[in-house]
Structure 1
Amino acid sequence: MVITGASSGIGLATARSAAAHGARIVLAARNGDALTEIQEEIRGRGGEAIHVVADVGRREAVQAIADAAIERYGRIDTWVNDAGLSIFGRLEEVSDEDHDRLFQTNFWGVVYGSLVAVPHLKRSGGVLINLGSVASDIAFPLQGMYCASKHAIKGFTDALRIELDEEGADVAVTLIKPAAIDTPFPQHARNYTDHEPKLPPPVYDPQEVALAILSASEHPQRDIYVGGAGRLMSAFQAVAPRTFDRIGRTMVGQQMRDEPPRHRSGALHEAGDDGEVRGDHPGYVQRRSFYTRAALHPAATGLLMTAGVAAAAALMRGGARR
């Protein structure tokens, strides 16, 4: 299993869980020191891992990840494109350089990872797992270009899936769509605001995303939402987009702590402080998503989707009456 963005957050949680279940891991990220520590930690627990220092925004660096995996293990069964960053700031205020860098990592990192991985996955009958977001379906203020990159990832992933299916390739493609997750994501983001950033509630534990990724590696699904709130917001936006836009205005305040910024630059242009799975979200963190755990069982998914759309419609009707 190849995992990009493996030095912190969701990628690190996934690497540890996959290694504990017997997978041989190829860790990839920009922070070589953090990757070395994680590699030794996994080996110390009886697992198997190697690491490759790579900036996924460069295709040749992504190719080097695949080459290292094949040289060491002879095959790639699962490739997880997890690396990603954000910017907190109004779209008009963010520099072109920062916007370009975000898209290079978030979008082109997934494109390069997918296109490098697919030839190997065709041979192994493997699984490609791309990390989108609930922001693949909806948009919210202060992270506009992040939302745009996640929309682009969804479009690319869906088109690639169709092309592989038409070709008859034995490759499963899954898009994971997490809601807000308690990782160091806000601290790694470039920050243009006058406040320390945070994620809007509800916020979920990163282990729930790792669970979804591991499930998809063995029992692929087309899309997996992590967090019932994310699924509900997606359904709500689909049936009442203008109402959702008005509600979305409240997310400006929900993404700011009442404290000054700590590190404005974040990890957008260079590796940051890595090695941690969880962040320091100041509010309540939901340790489990019962929606996601039920949705990982295909028989339950249809019922959950119906319930989500019905709930969104009920919210819309209530908002209209008010």
Structure 2
Amino acid sequence: MEISLKPLNEQVIVITGASSGIGLATARAAAKKGAKLVLASRNKEALTEIEQQLSAEGGTIKHVVADVGKRDDIQKIADAAIEHFGGFDTWVNNAGVSIYGRLEEVSDEDHHRLFDTNFWGVVYGSLIAAKHLKGKGGAIINLGSVLSDVAIPIQGMYSATKHAVKGFTNALRIELEDEGAGISVTLIKPAAINTPYTQHAKNYTGKATTLPPPVYQPEEAANAILHAAAHPKRDIFVGSGGKIMSNTNRLVPEVMDWVGEKMMIKMQTKDRAPKHLEDGLNQHGEGGKVHGDYDGYVMKTSLFTRASMHPIITGAVVAVAGAAAYAFLGNRK
């Protein structure tokens, strides 16, 4: 079956992790484009307010309180989409959280919980979505990360979950293509994004945490997600910085190891006590906010990402990114 995706204004889109950050930015942008939405997260209060806001602006919204680490909750999201809208066309597995801390310091329970949300939530969502979409077509969009390709210290297990998401997503794509299922499977790989990510992460470091630059606004990730909902894409990097890191790690992994050792811990922590003592690992974090509190420069758009979503100039853009990676390596040498 050939993959054919509907225009956004004819779609029903499911978004997990929709109460803040990239998920909320995607919901707002999709509602403006006329898509019907099923929004899911653990935060009932935030979802209720978001549904009211978007409905007042003319959107058609249904929210579902769900923990993506539980398969029954994921099924509840799908059932709600079928009951209220007759089904769905795109499923976005966006829910995720992180832990800042050295691997040996973090408890086994927290490591397992991280995988429940970041990996098993994607697995459950993808398989349930695929079952519904077979025969009718549609899109499954999974949120990976530049850390699907590159591992960094003090977010080691988060890196592992995103590597696992990449492996699962690639295998799922191959199997669905072999079946002729007519389902587009896309992996989105954002660089650092200015969402409430650090506020929601569990923090073992004893210091305030931050994002390693370059940092991009969440609306740029939302733009990539909605492009993938209407145009079959294998993967999309959000931010040229992530593409350069990925290329460098692929070509000369020792260089990225050196960068991680010498720079990455300092780039993720600050010499002050953390502001946020609560976290969103075992309970929902504060909802309703798209943007985080990153205090450095934030890039509103990525020309690389915008260009890479248009096939005519993708080759030229990739060549430029490759040249930038080689230049970076040359300077290091």
- Decide: shared fold, TM above 0.5: yes
2:77 aligned partner: 65
Q: Distance in 1 between matches of 2:315 and 2:74?
A: 37
Shift, 1:258, TM fit? 3.0
The one-letter amino acid of 2:26's match is T
Q: Give the counterpart letter for 1:288 in structure 2.
A: T
Say if 2:181 is the partner of 1:169.
Answer: yes
Q: Conserved in 1, the CA contact under 8 Å of 2:16 and 2:93?
A: yes
2:96 is aligned with 1:84: yes
TM-fit CA distance, 1:314:
2.5
- Aligned residue number for residue 195 of structure 1: 207
Q: Give the SS at the match of 2:269.
A: coil
Of residues 109-118 and 263-272 in structure 1, the stretch that sits farther from structure 2 once superposed is 263-272
Alignment match, 2:234: 222
Matches within 5 A, 1:117-156: 117-156=129-168
TM-superposed deviation, 1:244: 1.3
SS in structure 2 at match of 1:268:
coil
Q: How many residues matched? A: 320
- 1:96 matched to 2:115? The reply is no
Give 1:1-322 correspondences, 5 Å limit.
1-249=13-261, 250-320=263-333
Instruction: Give how far 1:197 is off.
Output: 0.7
Q: The residue matched to 2:54 in structure 1 has which SS?
A: helix
Cα displacement string for residues 9-68 of structure 1 (whole angstroms, at most 9, x for unaligned residues)? 000000010011000000000000100000011100001000000000000000000000
Counterpart CA distance in 1 for 2:188 and 2:255 is 26
Is the Cα–Cα contact under 8 Å of residues 135 and 181 in structure 2 kept in the other structure? Answer: no
Deviations 1:187-233 (A, max 9, x none): 00000012111100110000000000111111121000000100011
Using the TM superposition, name which of 114-123 and 66-75 deviates more: 114-123
Amino acid in the other structure paired with 1:187: Q
4+ long deviations beyond 4 Å: none
In 2, distance between residues paired with 1:64 and 1:129? 19
Give the letter aligned to residue 104 of structure 1. D
User: AA paired with 2:231?
Assistant: H
TM-score, with length taken from structure 1: 0.98
TM-score by length of structure 2 reads: 0.95
| Counterpart Cα distance in 2 of 1:314 and 1:276 | 38
Give the conservation status (yes or no) of the 8 Å contact 2:74–2:124: yes
Asked if the contact 1:239/1:312 (under 8 Å) is kept, the reply is no
Alpha-carbon distance in 1 for matches of 2:295, 2:207: 14
Letter in 2 for 1:290: L
Q: 8 Å contact 1:192–1:264 — kept in the other structure? A: no
Deviates more, 1:70-79 or 1:262-271: 262-271
- Paired with 1:96 and 1:301, the residues of 2 have a C-alpha distance of 42
Write the letter of the residue equivalent to 2:134. Answer: K
**Distance in 1 (alpha carbons) for counterparts of 2:134 and 2:20:** 29
Which letter maps to 2:158? Y
Cα shift at 1:318: 2.6
Deviation at 1:264, TM superposition (A): 3.5
Q: Any idea what SS the aligned residue of 2:23 has? A: helix
Instruction: Quote the offset at 1:306 in angstroms.
Output: 2.0
Give the drift of 1:308: 1.5
Aligned equivalents of 2:184, 2:323: Cα separation in 1? 30
Aligned residues of 1:232 and 1:309 also touching (Cα < 8 A)? yes
Aligned-pair identity (%)? 59
For 1:169 and 1:230, locate their aligned partners in 2 and report how far apart those are by CA, in whole Å. Answer: 31
Could you say what secondary structure the match of 2:140 adopts?
Answer: strand
- Distance of 1:85 and 1:202 partners within structure 2: 20
Q: CA deviation at 1:120?
A: 1.5
Do the aligned partners of 1:134 and 1:177 also contact (CA within 8 Å) in 2? yes
Structure 2 distance, partners of 1:134, 1:315, is 17
Gapped regions of structure 1 (runs ≥ 5): none
The structural deviation recorded for 1:101 is 0.3
Amino acid at match of 1:73: F
The residue identity in structure 1 corresponding to 2:112 is D
Give SS of 1:124's match: coil
1:102 is displaced (CA, Å) by: 0.3
Tell me the equivalent position of 2:7: none
- Check conservation: 2:41, 2:47, Cα contact below 8 A: yes
